[in-house]
Amino acid sequence: MFKKFAVAAALAAMASSAFAAGPTGFYGGVDAGSTHVDNIDAHGTSFGALMGYGVNPNVAFEFGYRRLGNWDIRDPFYSGTLKIDQIQLTVVGSYPLTPQLDIFGRGGFNDLSTEWSAGGQTYNPDSKGGTLYGVGLAYHFTPTVSGRVEFQKPSSDSTNVSLGVVFKF
């Protein structure tokens, strides 16, 4: 009796994960959100775009660009505008919680480029690569359209929270 129950539960779990989970094949999306950088009082408005390929319903590879924000900094010593851009290449693993809702995690590499403008001059003082990780929830509105909410840690001194929409091709 127990073996039959275990087999039925395993089959149900496999069937539900095949029905839901992330997109397979190519997909793309856009997002918008808010970025906090340590030692800067204001939050920056972020926006970005991504392209991905789902290897199976639970594993995907993504490439994306995001403007993490623009900050007007007014300080007695340093006044100007700071812009931070992010390019990322990550692996995304997802797990279905319900037929429409997935939890996902992200890990990979990102390159952060900063641009500082002050007194009519523009400087690109820093471009640094590093690890990126994040967690989020994806809700499947239809088989080809999903919404996402995600928390990312692009660097040790910054965090980003974003809402996005993903379209499967």
Q: Please tell me the CATH code under which domain 2-168 is placed.
A: 2.40.160.20
Residues 69, 45 contacting (CB under 8 angstroms): yes
What residues does each domain of the chain span?
A: 2-168
104: which residues sit within 8 A by CB, 6+ positions away?
A: 22, 92, 93, 94, 95, 135, 136, 137, 138, 150
22 has a pLDDT exceeding 70: no
Amino acid 16: pLDDT: 41
Q: What is the mean pLDDT of residues 147-152?
A: 97
Give the confidence band of 53 by pLDDT, cuts at 50, 70, 90: very high
Lowest mean pLDDT among 70-74, 86-90, 158-162: 70-74
The pTM assigned to this predicted structure is 0.79
Give the confidence band of 75 by pLDDT, cuts at 50, 70, 90: confident
Cα within 13 Å of Cα(117), Cβ side: 7
31: which residues sit within 8 A by CB, 6+ positions away?
A: 46, 47, 48, 49, 50, 66, 148, 150, 162, 163, 164, 165
pLDDT digits (tens, 9 = 90+) for 115-136: 888 877 777 767 788 999 999 9
pLDDT digits (tens, 9 = 90+) for 88-106: 999 999 999 999 999 999 9
Vertex 20 angle, CA 15 and 24, to 5°: 105
